Chain A
Amino acid sequence: QVQLQESGPGLVKPSETLSLTCTVSGGSINSDTYYWGWIRQPPGKGLEWIGNIFYSGSTFYNPSLKSRVTISIDTSKTQFSLKLGSVTAADTAVYYCASGLFDSKRTWGQGTLVTVSS
């Protein structure tokens, strides 16, 4: 049973880069079936898809965030990561990593709150 755990700073200054890592345990990150993804949820609001990455390194991003987002994968560390640049208060959210099919995610991390504030 795959388990996911997000890690990274809980506070980021405006205009800086948000960086989070998701550590995969209990399963292979080299799956040729599943995608690894990031989804966020601003406080009191709905879910927003950020992007997916395949074990090969192929990435797919939300067009509204594409210019600021980079998702990468390190199969040797069984981790995948999110970088979001030029953050503003609007990027304050709970960030989830998740795994599953491209469009549906069966396994989720517990989520981590990232606050953008000076």
Chain B
Amino acid sequence: QSALTQPASVSGSPGQSITISCTGTSSDVGGYDYVSWYQQHPGKAPKLMIYDVTNRPSGVSNRFSGSKSGNTASLTISGLQAEDEADYYCSSYTVTTTKGVVFGGGTKLTVL
């Protein structure tokens, strides 16, 4: 299992929209609609923001949305707020010798 590829950092100003990409292969992102996104603030456990590519758990703001095209999934955050500043990780279901889960390397979002 190779880690999914995410940009190391992205930034945006309050009110703007940003998109974080997550690139894998046909064995993970491209092969299944099982991509998730997590938000992690320093010293805290990750929080699930998106699952099954586009679904938001109850309680997650609709400013967060997910999509996928081919082997690349994306997380879009609209109307950026200061509290969105955090690390974001994608993950995907994967099947190689057996089924499993693979994470991306993480993206640091800075709200300017």
A interface residues, Cβ below 8 angstroms from B: 37, 39, 46-49, 52, 60-64, 96, 100-106, 108-111
Contact = CB atoms under 8 A, between A and B. Distances in A.
Question: Contact residue range for chain B?
Answer: 20 to 34
7 contacts: A46-B3, A46-B106, A47-B91, A61-B98, A103-B91, A109-B45, A110-B45
A102 B99 contact: yes
A49 B48 contact: no
B99 to A, nearest CB: 6
Contact of B100 (A62, A96, A101, A104): A62
Interface of B: 1, 3, 34, 36, 38, 45-48, 51-52, 57, 89, 91-93, 96-106
B46 A47 contact: yes
A49 B91 contact: yes
A35 to B, nearest CB: 10
Contacts of B48: 100, 104-106
B102 A49 contact: yes
A46 B46 contact: no
A48 B1 CA distance: 11
Contacts of A39: 46, 103
